[in-house]
A and B are shown apart, each in its own frame.
Chain A
Amino acid sequence: MFMSLNIKREPRPFVTLLAFILVFLVIAASIQFFGYFWVMLIPNLFLVILTITLLVAYFDNKEEAIKPLEKAPALSVIIPAYNVKDSVLGCINAIKASKYPGQMEIIVVDDGSTDGTRELLKKIEGVHALFKEKNAGKAAAINSGAKIAKGDVIACVDSDSYPVPEAFHYAVSALLRDERNGAATCFIRVANPGNNLLKRIQDIEYLTGFGFSQITTKFIDAIFVAPGPMSIFRKKVFLEIGGFDEQNITEDLEIAWRLKKYGYKIDYSPEAVVYTEVPGDLKTLYRQRMRWYRGKLFNIRKYSDMMFNKKYGVFGMFILPFSFSAELSGTVLSFSFLYLVTHQLIWTMQYLLSNLELGAMLIDLKSMVVVGSSMLAVGFVLVLPWFLTVYLSHKIANKKVGFHDLLATTLFLMFYGSVISFFYCISLFKEINRSDYRWK
């Protein structure tokens, strides 16, 4: 999963500091003028509009049943591997257990591993192993594999991901049901969340993100990512567009946007389930999300000509702008929170000084109440579409919302968004700062 890629850039701390102060002042002035509630509401409206649009798309369309393949094309499964001796065998075994009706080859590209992955791969039978001396990153590894692939269809699978036996059949069927399709994506699920609360929360996030969102964006022809854990491509198209961008930290996002640029469609099969490992602690999650969100910002700049461009349909006119609004909304929410905390800290300091003057130890909780009953009422209605989304995501996955999921679901609905907003905000400022890209 973790391939290394370092892109050095010249940081600009002064510009970043200036941007930080400017945004803080604008948010502070807005809160003073309009009030905390309205400033917080505006960014959430973007999310509500997006959610409602996807819900309408869901109820307005019906998923076409996948037809069994009459003639299954030859399939080349490419697994990039870098220091993954603990997971790669499980991945290969899962692929070997697949019920793909056609010819299938497995190509594992060792990207200069130093942890014994190379030695392990040499012992595995039925796998075409390609060994690279120098680590060059995941995109480069897959591109190397694609060059020697014999199949008409290539599947890129992360070494810590485990497709279910039917996954390739369904994914290839989805790819071939329209000749304009350049790629097909799968339903990425969290592998073994166990009792890890963070993984359980991500389990729900993946259900909504790779289940509900993928199926609904497919309905409006706007799938905007070919997820790294597993996506499949027509090899001809893959090579035509130049394969993965080797200097991109979110190559899975970039290739999806490039496919759109070339006029290809991306399909999706909810039946093609692939389980993948996810971060089990906040630090790893932070690193992962920095890569995702900074990669998105990088690609928004790269493909800025697609934004609000009718030529790219719903993708250019709706999904791309709304995708960017996530960073902006996250920034507004984070700065509003920062303002509140700063304001409260200054207030508390002054209050404590008053206590000193009064010779009293007073506690004031009333001033900390910033949410009223009417705010809660508005928030409750606006969060209902999001509740429905979570329910439908479970339905798509044939997963029941059990009592034991209550804590993770509540945390996901109530707090996880704030954490992600904070990550969005940091990613934006890291991009403004032109911090180095480090992905290890």
Chain B
Amino acid sequence: MEVKKGVFVKAAIAAIAVFALAILFGYYVESNAYSYTEKKLVDLQEGMESSMLFSLFVQTHNDSESMCLVMKNQLDDSAQKTYDVYGALEQSKSTSIFGNYDVLRKKYFLANMRFYLMLKSYILSCNDTSLTPILFFYSTYNDCPSCVAQGQVLDEVRAECKNVRVYAFPADTEELSLIKAFKAYYNINSVPALVIQDDTYSSLMSKDKIKAAVGCS
């Protein structure tokens, strides 16, 4: 039996087709995951936008009591959504092969900063000291097992203390200049680091210590 000459040409075409199909299928699956995360982020941004507009509306109508109530509700509502988007983005960072999540991450951290500033603004203008924001700085690109452990402790604190709101930011990213400004302002030089009641803690903090710092028994 003689070897058919066309075998290798056909095999090359078939191999390219299979590779292309594999890459396209992978790209399609990841695009869907990307769109899903993007949609969640857009929802988050819309919620934030509407709460900002509503607060402006209330401010113009000189009704501070209603404004505070609405802002608190909006901030409460957005808290869980923020954590969901954060979880999806962090997971995709390590398992994504095609998608560039940098744009989404940038949008997310921008939204997260706005939420943080809105919360600070709410606390000041509504004089509500029942809510305590915690800034959590961690590392994205370098392995940081202690950041993961600290994040888990914060999750537990968040679950036990309803007055706590955690805002996590990557300390080693150049994505947003505002993060750099935050780091400089709060004197963040290492990770993990926490900022509670404007005090910076640059070492690992146990659950009890955090709870004591936020006044949660």
Contact = CB atoms under 8 A, between A and B. Distances in A.
Interface of A: 35, 37-38, 45, 48-49, 52-53, 55-57, 60-61, 64, 178, 218-221, 313-314, 318, 343, 347-348, 350-351, 353-355, 357-360, 362, 364, 366-367, 369-382, 384-385
A48 B17 CA distance: 12
Contacts of A385: 18
Interface stretch (B21-29, B46-54, B110-118, B162-170): B21-29
Nearest to A359: B206
Q: How many residues of B sit at the interface, in one of the four size bands?
A: 35 or more
B3 A374 contact: no
B148 A351 contact: yes
B33 interface: yes
Contact of B152 (A35, A362, A384): A362
Given A60-B10, A219-B1, A366-B91, A374 B30 contact: yes
A73 B56 CA distance: 102
Interface in B70-124: 91-92, 94-99
Contact of A374 (B2, B10, B96, B149): B96
Given A57-B7, A220-B3, A377-B29, A382 B18 contact: yes
A60 B6 contact: yes
8 contacts: A49-B15, A52-B18, A347-B145, A372-B96, A374-B33, A374-B98, A375-B97, A382-B22
A331 to B, nearest CB: 23
A369 B15 contact: no
Give the dominant DSSP class at B's interface. helix
Nearest to A265: B1
Given A53-B8, A61-B1, A220-B3, A373 B30 contact: yes
Given A45-B19, A384-B18, A364 B7 contact: no
A384 to B, nearest CB: 7
Given A52-B14, A382-B22, A354 B145 contact: yes
B74 to A, nearest CB: 29
A377 B207 CA distance: 40
Given A48-B18, A369-B91, A380-B25, A221 B149 contact: no
A52 B145 CA distance: 43
B189 to A, nearest CB: 18
Contacts of A38: 97
Contacts of A369: 91, 94-95
A360 B143 CA distance: 20
Contacts of B3: 219-221, 313-314
Contacts of A372: 30, 33, 91-92, 94-97
A378 B22 contact: yes
A364 B26 contact: no
Given A358-B204, A372-B96, A367 B148 contact: yes
A374 B153 contact: no
B172 to A, nearest CB: 16
B15 A381 contact: no
Contact of B1 (A218, A364, A379): A218
B29 A52 contact: no
A260 to B, nearest CB: 13
B15 A377 contact: no
Quick one: which of A53, A56, A380 has the most chain B CB within 10 A?
Answer: A56
A394 B4 CA distance: 25
Contacts of A313: 3
Nearest to B6: A60
Given A314-B3, A357-B146, A364-B148, 12 more contacts: A53-B15, A347-B145, A353-B146, A358-B153, A358-B206, A364-B149, A364-B152, A367-B145, A373-B30, A373-B95, A382-B19, A385-B18
A351 B145 contact: yes
B11 interface: yes
A380 B29 CA distance: 12
Contacts of A375: 26, 95, 97
B150 interface: yes
A375 B199 CA distance: 43
A350 B145 contact: yes
A252 B1 CA distance: 23
Quick one: which of B7, B27, B29, B143 has the most chain A CB within 10 A?
Answer: B7
A61 B26 contact: no
